[in-house]
Structure 1
Amino acid sequence: MAIYGIGAKYDTTDISAIFLKENFVATGWDDFDAPDLHEYFKVINPGDIVYIKSCSYSSDITVKGVGIVTNDELLTSKRHSRIEIGRNVKWIYKNWFVIDRPSEGKNNVRANTIYREFHPDIIAEIMRVYNRYA
Structure 2
Amino acid sequence: MSKMEADARSIYVGNVDYGATAEELEAHFHGCDSVNRVTILCDKFSGHPKGFAYTEFSDKESVRTSLVSDESLFRGRQIKVIPKRTNRPGISTTDRARYRAQTTNYNSYLSRFYSGFNSRPQGHVYRGRARATSWYSPY
Structure with the bigger RCO (C-alpha within 8 Å, sep 6+) is 1
Using the size of structure 1 for normalisation, the TM-score is 0.28
Higher-Rg member (1/2): 2
Higher helix share: 2
TM-score by length of 2: 0.27
